[in-house]
Structure 1
Amino acid sequence: MFEFSLGPVALSAPGPTNGTDEHDSRPADLHEVIGTAGDQFRDAFTRTCLYLALGAADDSGARADGATRTDDTVVIGTEYGNTAALVRLQRHAAEKGKLLSAQYFPNATSSSASAFVNLRIGSTGRNMTVNAGVLTPVLALWQALSALDRERSGTSRLLVGDVYGPEAAADARLDTPGLPCRDGVVHAFLHTGTDLTAEFAFATADARPPDLVRTVRKTGADGATTDGAARVAFAEHNSAFATRAFLDLVHTLEPAEQAVLECHAPDGRHAAVTVTRRRANTDSTNGGHR
């Protein structure tokens, strides 16, 4: 069981691709927030993560500018992440051969977005990119809370989602062609604290579920789904939207109520996280990680 507090949550959803790895619709203040230095080497996913991380304010109202070093941990949960940068590197390498600029290489890795976010916000904590397919949001949240539980960081930055270039969208639709690929990345602050607890469950099933699906629901102290908060299913590839709905639901919890995020993969694997708001008189010394 993990103990924590949840800070502000924000979602950014770039517009549709224009046929390459770029997006026609961007926030009007994108480059005002993230800057333009080296932008020709970034892909849309990196820009989106930077925009959220640099534009978001924590509970104190302060925004990270890299001037003050912190022990923050950055965890990015994504299935396709910087695929566009990797594809562009391969395309330009074929075109330019030995004339290819060396600057492309550090910007075209599967985890370059998390590295850029760490550098820009001045974070010295853990820095990782998690890809667990359909189970990505649950595993990413596990890693973000592990940093708090082990007292490695006082704050974890969690970013979950995808921005789909043509190659990523084509790959995502190979197994489940009927599911949409909406762009979006969600950002949240997780802090050390005792007002919330999180429990995780992982399992496999013999039977293959009919659809790849993520669900979010709210339950009362007795474990029953509360009135007006029925289970909501998210049948799409990008986990950003289910994660946003789940984190928003956590903010609404009354003492002893629970928010549940469940992820079911086509091969039967599934994972769930249950967040409970503590009662006012709960003894927080019984926490710990199990």
Structure 2
Amino acid sequence: MNSSAEPGWLAPFIRASAATGKVLGIAVGGSHGRGTADGLSDVDLFFLVTPEELTALYRTPPDHLTDLLPGRTAVTYPVLVPEFGLKYTVMSSEVGLCDLFFEDGSGPATPLREGTDFRWDPDGRFDALNRVLLAQSRRRGTRDAHAVRMAVQLASEYAGVTKSVARGRTVQARYRMSKVVNLLLGMRGSWWFSHCVADEALTDPAADLAPWVTGALAEERLRAAHRLLGEVCIKAVKGTGGLAAEVETALVSQLYALMEAMEGR
């Protein structure tokens, strides 16, 4: 599938990348993969590689691929993105920004695999892997495991909010609160970490974020927002499926302790 908004450099780059002998499959994701890209859409490229190659990419940027892009390029440090795998963001002086994601045969199960367009998959292995992982992402057990990880991360981020509010760091506190809000949405299942996923079977997570939290943030009443977010966090943790009772108790106790620490100041 080729979107009408697809940049002219993409197809030649994919052909050249396939010829390197270092990738097993290449796909295009996001709006370009779904054929809905417009002039503001970035390009997400996915590469299936061997486990050995993936390990090497944690240490060494993919120069063998970025050198194939038009113009001069620079790359970020590698980032592990739970939704997709190992990510490098590349800036090319001629084509702008694009994201390169790398995974091996044990890639992450995520609903964001929907709409992936496989451009070079000589033995069908990449497509088959995607189908298996997409099916896994729809299982209740996968969703519960996702929510459990989010619950632990939620407590960690809320601890950061507490420190920022206590120290009077307004900008930092608001930033950390926004991360907590995203995690709360993620725990509802209709978000997968930082990405929105349409799923009519799920309720609107925004309904669980009471308007007064938004109001407190807008008015910069940070202590009030801290307390209100804490209450929503506790509710979210208690509603997390698959969370061991002892872990739930520990997380809830941690959140209550953080709320009480602020109340005493």
Larger radius of gyration: 2
Bigger strand share: 1
- Measured against the shorter chain, the TM-score band is under 0.3
Flag the structure with more relative contact order, 1 or 2, with Cα contacts below 8 A and sequence separation at least 6. 1
